[in-house]
Amino acid sequence: MNGIVTDYERQVFAEEFSGRVPRKIFDSHVHIVLRRSYPADRGTESIDYLAPHGGEFSVQRFFEVYEELLPGVEMSLAGFGMPAMHVDRSDAADFGTDNERVFGLRLLSAYDTVEQIEADIRKHRLAGVKPYANMALKTPGREVELLDFFTPEQLEMLNRLKLIAVVHIPRAMRLEDPLNRKQMKYLCEKYPDATFVFAHIGRAYYQRCATKYVDEFVEFPNAYWDTAMINHEGVLRYTFDHFPAERILFGTDAPISFIRGKSVEINHQYAYVMPENYDFGTTLIDTTGKIRYVPFLYEQLRSVLALDLPRRTLEDFFFGSAHRLYTTTVERIHGK
Ligand SMILES: [Zn+2]
């Protein structure tokens, strides 16, 4: 990958991951970002973590980078654009899904029409949608809530077509927030034929956030978690101990997960500790030059391998569960 992976990282892979991670991995949380989907006056230049990839992140680049980071592993992905109102969301969904190794979701704004979303899903043979707080309905004077992410008509369509929504819940308290959990349950209950994959285990990057709250979603068969950017062994352990493993999906937030650093819990909060400054979340920049870092992806792998899950569970987590979910979803709507 144009020298992005260092010799040191090759050594880490050989010592810690080779032969331990499954031969097939499905990354269920990938941002495919194409420059052409952005307006001329608001391009991708300001997205700093795209710089190592030439200002965009294509499907081809995904495979190239993983070939370097996880040599010999056969990768699949579920991808979607980087959420923003100024992105051409129809165009961003056109990145070459084949529904074998490459599955896709359409960015969804609450301001998009159901007709347009459905047309894009059919045209690009997509598996569902990716809403986000920055594309939600805005009510002056009130913070965005989860239910503002969609209109009721959009939710009816998701349910009717039995689609997947990868949902990054809003608000500072994340999974600890009672209103968030109430609205998450409302979605799962009211739209039982849609699948809701709550990203980052409901943004539970520190222990207290996951503890007991993940249990509340066991009873909803259409509630899933993805583990993107979670490298907290305790959070993962709790989740695997208290939630059906087949509804926990591996995902990374690539290309963000290719940056070097580690997410660290600090007093019921967390920060990304990194040797270089990138603009996402709360970051602590280490200027000592004394610590060697590896990509967040490697830290994620370490934390899940530390759980010593049974081989079968590990293979399902890394590949089988997401592959099954995405394959059945696209076959149902688009046929074989
Ligand atoms: Zn993401």
In the reported structure, the alpha carbon of residue 306 is separated from the centroid of ligand 1 by a whole-number distance in angstroms of: 24
- Going from the Cα of 59 to the center of ligand 1, the distance in angstroms, rounded, reads 15
Question: Does pLDDT of 1 surpass 80?
Answer: no
For the chain, give the percent of residues with pLDDT over 70. Answer: 99
Residue range 147-161, pLDDT digits in tens: 999 999 999 999 999
223 membership: H or E segment, kind and range: strand 223-226
C-alpha 42 – ligand 1 centre gap (Å): 20
Cα 253 to averaged position of ligand 1 atoms, centre (Å): 5
pLDDT tens-digit map of 165-201: 999 999 999 999 999 999 999 999 999 999 999 999 9
Nearest to 155 by CA among 94, 98, 222, 89: 222
The CA distance from 143 to 161, in Å, is 30
How many Å lie between the centroid of ligand 1 and the Cα of residue 31? 6
Confidence of residue 211 (pLDDT cuts 50, 70, 90): confident
| 144 alpha carbon – ligand 1 mean position (Å) | 18
pLDDT score, position 162: 98
Mean pLDDT of 262-280: 92
Give the angle subtended at the CA of 82 by the CAs of 64 and 336, to the nearest 5°.
70
Q: How many helices (H) and strands (E) does the chain have?
A: 12, 11
How far apart are the CA of 79 and the centre of ligand 1, in A?
A: 10
In degrees and rounded to multiples of 5, residue 31 shows phi and psi of -100, 110
Query: Token digits for 278?
Result: 């990138």
Identity of the amino acid at 112 = D
Q: 51 exposed, middle or buried (CB, 10 Å; 0-12, 13-18, 19+)?
A: exposed
Cα distance between residue 95 and residue 230, in whole Å? 26
CA distance linking residue 61 with residue 30, whole number of Å: 12
- List the chain domain ranges: 7-334
DSSP state of 57: B
2 pLDDT higher than 70: no
**Model confidence at 279: pLDDT above 90:** no
Ligand 1 mean position to 166 CA, how many Å?
A: 9
How sure is the predictor about 281, in pLDDT bands with cuts at 50, 70 and 90? confident
Q: Helix-strand-coil percent breakdown of the chain, rounded to 5?
A: 40, 20, 40
Please state the rounded mean pLDDT for residues 134-142: 95
Higher pLDDT: 241 or 204? It is 241
Residue 198 alpha carbon to ligand 1 centre in Å: 11
| pLDDT band at residue 212 under the 50/70/90 scheme | confident
Average pLDDT for 312-334: 97
DSSP per residue over 228-287, as a string? TT---HHHHHHHHHHS-GGGEE----BTGGGSB-EEEEETTEEEEEESS--SSSSEEE--
Q: How far is the CA of 292 from the centre of ligand 1 (A)?
A: 25
For residue range 22-43, list pLDDT tens digits in order: 999 999 999 999 999 999 888 8
Distance 259 CA to ligand 1 centre (A): 14
Q: What pLDDT does residue 40 have?
A: 87
Ligand 1 centroid distance, CA of 252 (Å) = 8
User: Three-state SS for 224?
Assistant: strand
Output the CA 254–ligand 1 centroid distance in Å: 8
Residue 68 Cα to chain centre, angstroms: 21
Which token pair is 183? 């609205």
Judged against a pLDDT cut of 60, whether residue 285 lies above it is answered with yes
How many angstroms separate the alpha carbon of residue 29 from the centre of ligand 1? Answer: 6
CA of 21 to the centre of ligand 1 (A): 22
Distance 330 CA to ligand 1 centre (A): 21
| Residue 223 confidence (pLDDT) | 98
pLDDT tier, 46 (very low <50, low <70, confident <90, very high otherwise): confident
- The neighbourhood of ligand 1, an ion, using CB within 5 A, equals 253
Separation of CA 211 and ligand 1 centre (Å): 22
* pLDDT per residue as tens digits for the range 287-300: 999 999 999 999 99
CB–CB of 293/262 below 8 Å?
A: yes
Q: Which CATH number fits domain 7-334: 2.60.40.10, 3.20.20.140, 3.40.50.150, 2.60.200.20?
A: 3.20.20.140
Query: Which structure tokens are listed for 261?
Result: 């650093």
> What spacing in Å lies between the alpha carbon of 234 and ligand 1's midpoint?
21
Distance 178 CA to ligand 1 centre (A): 23
Neighbours of 138 (CB within 10 A): 12
Q: Does pLDDT of 93 surpass 60?
A: yes
CA of 27 to the centre of ligand 1 (A): 11
